[in-house]
A and B are shown apart, each in its own frame.
Chain A
Amino acid sequence: MSEQLLEATSADTWREGPLPSRLPEGFEVPVGAGPRRRVSAFRRRHSVRSATAKAVYDDARAPERGFPVATSGQAAGFLGGLLNTRRATLGWAIGLNVAAAGAGLVAPLLLGRLIDDVTAGALGRSGLTTTVGIIAGVIVLQALLTFGARRASAVLGYDLLAAAREEVVRIVLRLPLGHVESSGSGDLLTRITSDVSKMAAAARWAFPNLIVSVVLIGATIAAMVVNSWVLTLPMLGTAVIMFFGGRYYLSRATAGYITESASYSVINSTTTETVEGARTVEALGLGRQRVAQLDEDTELSAQAERYTMTLRNMLFAMVDSSFQLPLVGVVLLGVWGHSQGWVSIGQITTAALYVSQLQGPLDRVIAVLDHLQLGIVATARLIGVAQLEDDRTPGEAEPEGVKLTGNGLRFGYRDGVDVLHGVDVDLRPGERLAIVGPSGSGKSTLGRLVAGINRPRVGDVTVGGVDVMDLPLDRLRTEVALVTQEHHVFVGTVRDNVVLARETSASDAEVQQALVTVGAWGWVSKLPGGLDAELGHGKATLTPAQAQQVALARLIIADPHTLVLDEATSLIDPSSARHLEGSMAALLEGRAVIAIAHRLHTAHDADRIAVVDGGRIVELGDHHELLELDGQYAHLWRTWRD
């Protein structure tokens, strides 16, 4: 079947000629042209970059592959919900910030009054000292309130972040089993590391600073109006420029920064592959291609950087002028007002001080909104994971007995392309059934359906008369388990690594017994701390054979009556396989086993052998029966033995 597909579509999907450039057209820089052409070329480049950024952003919001992404509204709702349960902390943070901002505004006001009094000759030397003392007191108060305000903001930000990331991990740990098994870990890994750190930046830095800046801006403008409403008028210009400039920038910046950081991930993964695969590159003479690929990655990244650089330059031009020009306005208005007699020098001084105080928060508010937008996008990607629907519907029915049966199983990973075309399988209690067949025949898929990982499109798998897809996951794990022998050792104690299936009920004695059974107690008892010894991430590292023993001990603790063994990855390392035969035998003892066998001696030892080809069971029987049948299995066996 697959050979035919290759014949049928190969010509359509094969690309002739050299690899096309990933850089879109339109980046040419006219050399030696006049300023007008150069400007129009620059505008064209900017719009191409803008389009590229938008495409990357859209893909981040609605990826073609991998996990779904939530909407910004859902992300904001999620964060809003977390804030809602922290009203008291939020109240403190806002209250203290308002107080600190208020205190910060009193000093310039007093300074202005002071100058007025001095120039008017209304203040003697002793009066001067008193006023200066009051101002000093206000500044001390402002420092204390600022400390309280910043600390309260940090408490809120870190608390919010901790709650959000813990919820994300809980969401990940609820992912439907079928989806976990079929998708690679790459997408999830990116989300749980880089998206969490973007969310962290937003929660820890941007959110508290937003409160600080907004409060400061509001309070300063209010104070300016109190000081002199006329001298506040130049700030209207600031507001207009900031509004339009900020809107232009913010509506583009998120896409720009997402594109930029995506371009660096591409560079990193190209470099990682080149470095880790340095020998492969050398052996196959791929140096030129690897260097060319990285050079192109950096070209693409440079375009993303140029885009955000232009955006920032536009923003700087607007923001810098918008908060420096009011100073000119204040001076002009102030001097004129002074000559007319309705503004005092003190008011001018105060207004000038306020204007310069506004620069910081105004500058920051844009940066903060930038990070908040990135944080919302990251949060949307994180909680999007929760949108996967579980295809398992736990019911009440209790299995009677341990008999495992599959009826008329049909299944495909893609619509319209079935991998299994109606398979019946019937496992007798305690029996060993080997499944053999060429790759792509559907034998691993059959294993996954039988283990209750995927729901068959047609047909059902029952254990003790109950559909495996109706069993709660906790229960299913004690009935049938899929052994892929992926020897992942978790960061945690030995006990954490073994108890998995019965984390709430297994005693230390049971854990120890499981380790004894697989022959691992010898080395575990020698570790400092025994069951409490920490494994992984800079702690004790295990050999591949020890890691596999731990994996087997997990299954002894789970104690399912039926095991589905997928040998696909188990016997890659022949030297450790030899040590593990005993551990494996201890696990299999007394259980029914479906072994997806790569090696013929495994099949030979089984009670029955099923040969799967093209999504169907084509031969079924014990070793001798199949040899007599003289079909595929018999042919293979002879090739191997003779």
Chain B
Amino acid sequence: MLAPHRARHDFPPAIPADSRPDVRTPSRFLFWLIRSYGWVVPAMTLAAATWLIPAAFTPWLLGRAIDAGVSGGVEASLGWVAGLLGVIVVGVVGGIGFHTFAVRMWLLGIYGIQRRVSRQAVHLGHVLNRRVPTGEVLSVSSSDSDQFGATIDAFGHVIAAAISFLLASVLMLTTSPSLGAVVLIAVPLLMTASTPVLRPLTRAQSAERTESSTLTSLASDIATGLRILRGVGGERTFAGNYERQSQKVRALGVRLGTWQAVVEAISILLSGLLLVALVHLGSLQLLDGTLGVGELISFFGYAVFLTSPMQTFFDFAQKWVQGLVAAGKTITLLGAESPWAPAPRQLGPAPVLHDEASGVTVRPGRMLGVVSEDPDASAALADRLGRYLPEGAPENSGEDELKGRARRRARRERLAERERRAREDAEIAARPWGVSADGVDYSQLDVADLRRRVVVSHTGAILFSGTLQGAVDPWGTHTREQAERALEVASAEDIYASLADGWQGRIDEKGRGLSGGQRQRIVLARALLNDPDVLVLVEPTSAVDAHTEARIAERLVRYREGRTTVVVTASPLLLRRCDEIAVLVDGREVARGHHDDLHDHPDYRRVIARGMEDSDE
């Protein structure tokens, strides 16, 4: 991969293997983030100052130029005009600098968090799905990462705004202490006075957003269920439901638009009235001769200019709080620890595996079929053999719909629940696992080594988007002949034939666009190509038709000959090819033997011959 190598402070940032964010508290995390950008944040602040401070001089220079020009002619004003020109040029350059550094800071944050999230997902593996709901991981990666940019942008902005605010104040007070005082007192006062209307605006915004997202989910519901709507019917009903919601959103949108109009009208009113007050006071001073015309014109400029730094202060307060919330979510994800402790021992070359809970022993070099009346019991056995914690997604607390104290409590409860789950995982991982390899309990084995040697292909295995070649050989380390063979054993040649570009044919996200049976066979081919010492296949052909299943069974046995294979299935076509079969009842092994030996075993017959009892001739 020839990606250009990037330094730490250029986006996307390199993530050194030993770099750990400060996950102790949300605010520590934000400061860690700012420090991690190195010189970018100071440079951004400096550029923001270069951009905003000249603007503080513009009204003053404008007034001076007019005054000088009026009294001394064009030549007298030229110096001031040159100053004005210089200030504008510096401001433009500063603006570009600020934009450039702010974008860099923003993207360092976004890409940095996204890269850390993917590393964390890979580091935690299946444990991740036990700790954090998928939606939350994605929102950290896509929206919280963006929030940090907004927060730190506001941080740099506010420092520069404070400097320019002070400067403008000094300039005003030295020009006319009384008018300066009026502007300095009135501007913050007016800004605060307009905040009460912001609350209904925020409420209208969140109501519109909530109902809009419901509308979007109705639309995606229609798109997802379109086969049914066009195949079975119901177009009018669901178009009607969509229209009703759409009209509801429209009404809320108009309400939101009305509040926005109120806010804008108020800001015009307040800043206009301030201008009028200045004109009145200034004109009086003008009549007294204590103020020049140009100076009065500068005050008009300041009345307009000062609203912008004030806006920045309000903005910053809001963004910092939002940033803390985003940081809170991010540190629970990035701070989650893997439960597996390092262990020194490795698996032997051809291990005998024994599971205490079921009493099942997996002998090396043989193909063992596992049959159970309760499919969950045999899937749990497969998980134990692979050293996987049981599945279980954490509940979404629904706290987004709560408000105030109830919301904070829900968040606390959720965090406590997460911590409890993490402790529980670590305890389970530390105590004896209950499965041994050559007599050594799994808890004494190195997990990474175990994962390489014992591979469990579970029913939830997913396909990654890319080419067919990438789906079958995601490692990119196998030869064409090996891949062809794996495809053949999984009886998936027809999928190859159905794609326009053969090996380079597109596989969509999670294999969407393929039928369940097609996906299952590619997953199988991938597991076979991996060729581990011990391969555990859970229901590998449940969505495949009998013809194909028979073909797969025959080829699978030949392919895995001499290697340890466990097949969890209820299909007689697969079972009859197994070297031996373990029959589980209530999670315990009750019988073992070849298909022919077990043919008359009542428990075995009950499971595999379901639907056949009434058809005996």
Contact = CB atoms under 8 A, between A and B. Distances in A.
B287 A269 contact: no
A316 to B, nearest CB: 6
A144 to B, nearest CB: 7
Contacts of A503: 233-234, 236-237
Contacts, number: 546
Interface in B94-147: 95-96, 99-100, 103, 107, 111, 114-115, 117-119, 121-126, 128-129, 134, 137-138, 141-142
A496 B241 contact: yes
Contact of B545 (A128, A558, A597): A597
Given A316-B96, A320-B92, A274 B121 contact: yes
Contacts of B517: 439, 568, 598
Interface residues of B, number: 180
By DSSP majority rule, is chain A's interface helix, strand, loop, or mixed? helix
B559 to A, nearest CB: 16
Interface in B496-529: 496-498, 500-506, 508-510, 512-513, 515-518, 521, 526-527
Given A153-B257, A166-B243, A313-B100, A283 B249 contact: no
Given A316-B99, A331-B84, A339-B74, A356 B301 contact: yes
B296 A271 contact: no
Interface in B263-320: 264-266, 268-269, 272-273, 275-276, 279-280, 283-284, 286-287, 293, 296-297, 300-301, 304
Interface stretch (A220-228, A236-244, A296-304, A373-381): A296-304
A503 B126 CA distance: 44
B449 to A, nearest CB: 11
Contacts of B128: 275, 278
Interface in A93-118: 104, 107, 111, 114-115, 118
A271 B137 CA distance: 9
Given A274-B121, A491-B218, A558-B232, A158 B493 contact: no
A172 interface: yes
A265 B197 CA distance: 36
Given A196-B216, A273-B465, A296 B261 contact: no
Contacts of A184: 508, 512-513
Contacts of B508: 184, 186
Nearest to A164: B246
Given A328-B81, A481-B231, A317 B542 contact: no
A275 B137 contact: yes
A634 interface: no
A143 B233 contact: no
Contact of A277 (B81, B462, B550, B573): B462
A181 interface: yes
Contacts of A165: 215, 219, 246
A132 interface: yes
Nearest to B300: A353
A598 B546 contact: yes
Nearest to A414: B500
Contacts of B268: 104, 139, 142-143, 146
Interface in B64-79: 65-66, 69-70, 73-74, 77
Interface string A145-163: 0111111011101110110
B216 A302 contact: no
Contact of A490 (B225, B297, B300, B550): B225
Interface stretch (B343-351, B409-417, B479-487): B479-487
Contacts of A292: 1
Interface string A279-320: 111111111011110111011011001000100110011001
Contacts of B515: 444, 568-569
A142 B546 contact: no
Nearest to B448: A285
Nearest first, the 4 A-B pairs at minimum CB distance are A154-B257, A440-B494, A335-B69, A282-B125
Given A500-B228, A503-B236, 18 more contacts: A10-B502, A23-B3, A142-B268, A154-B260, A170-B239, A189-B223, A192-B220, A283-B457, A287-B122, A301-B12, A321-B92, A335-B70, A349-B300, A438-B551, A503-B233, A536-B221, A571-B542, A597-B545
16 contacts: A15-B467, A142-B272, A159-B250, A267-B141, A271-B142, A278-B122, A284-B474, A292-B1, A312-B99, A313-B99, A320-B92, A335-B77, A336-B69, A345-B66, A439-B518, A639-B550
